[in-house]
Amino acid sequence: MSGKVKVQDLDSSTQEQLMALFKGWNFASFGDTGCIMPTTYAHEADNVLNMAARPDDVWVVTYPRSGTTWTQELVWLVKNNLDYERALKSDLVHRFPYLENSHIIRVDLAGIAPEQRQSFTRPSFEQVANAPSPRFIKSHVPLSLLPANLLDAKVVYVARDPRDVAVSFYHLSRAIFNYVGDFKTYWNLFVKDLVFFSPFFPHLKEAWALRHHKNMLFIFYEDMTKDLSSVIKRVASFFGKKFTNEEIAQLCQHLDINNFRKNRKVNEERLLNAVGTKGETFIRKGKSGTWREHFDEEMSAQAQRWLDENLAGTDLRFPTHA
């Protein structure tokens, strides 16, 4: 029996507010969490929900700007026995396609080489659904909007302090979503669950509830920034791999943020060029706690209240959250 995703229109005043800030976008809410997505996702939501996950699939699922690209490269290399040669010959977007890409990325094809246009014009769901095994799949929608048998596959979920997420997502929203407001306005939308892929906490809590499942690995971005080698060992163990200390050190060097930012196979330069972005980078600072540089005293207090309210009654805690 096929499942069906609940789709609801936003009220007119909310829709008008968002359309004024995200130029050229229309939104609806999806599923029981009310995930905010472009209205075009209504054409794909049921297909994604009813897609069969395969036992040899590898999924990386995150709320956006939680270390997704970093984790994808880490996971792909671990699963492929540290095949750097292959990784440096093929863009990460081809090795590890993005399930919602067709509904999120709008490009000017005039700036894309003819041989690369298919990855932008062919529906991303179709690309993923028809890909040969083993598939590597990235998604930003909550687990409840993904295949019902998702945990027949291996899933790596990454969580990050939402204050840092909001700062990073604000910059990306300026780059690819035509966001025209300031950061304080964006933050107020974020805590009201009115930006792409919101609401934030239901997204995390769905994964947190499944963190003990044998096919789910739940990791924190803050742990990656603090002790990457330990996270690599956890990922390796999850996939039944074992590497020497030298191999782990080499992978840490490959993933070092300064090297990662320069790696043209992962840094999405092609995407930013395609959408006509100027003045933003896809790979940013790769640090934790930089939200403090963007929040005034009022915003910091508001953020703390918001965190406390949403974490109350749970044992979910971010490594940076007191």
pLDDT, position 322: 41
Mean pLDDT of the 164-192 span: 95
| pLDDT reported for residue 2 | 80
How confident is the prediction for the chain on average, in pLDDT? Answer: 89
Distances in Å between the Cα of 178 and the Cα atoms of 20, 63, 106, 174, 276 are 10, 19, 10, 5, 10
Cβ proximity of 72 and 136 under 8 Å: yes
What pTM was estimated for this model as a whole? 0.90
pLDDT at 267: 65
pLDDT of res. 276: 44
Residue 261 banded pLDDT, cuts 50, 70, 90: confident
Check whether 321 has a pLDDT greater than 50: no
Highest mean pLDDT among 43-52, 116-125, 254-263, 274-283: 43-52
Give pLDDT, residue 112. 54
pLDDT of residue 109: 46
CB 126 within 8 A of CB 63: no
Residue scoring higher pLDDT (160 or 282): 160
Quick one: what percent of the chain has pLDDT higher than 90? 75
Task: Report whether 180 contacts 23 (CB < 8 A).
Answer: yes
Higher-confidence residue of 21 and 257: namely 21
Q: Residue 269: which pLDDT band, with cuts at 50, 70 and 90? A: low
5 has pLDDT over 60: yes
Indicate if the pLDDT at residue 30 is higher than 50.
Answer: yes
Q: Which residue has the higher pLDDT, 128 or 2?
A: 128
According to the model, what pLDDT value does residue 271 have? 47
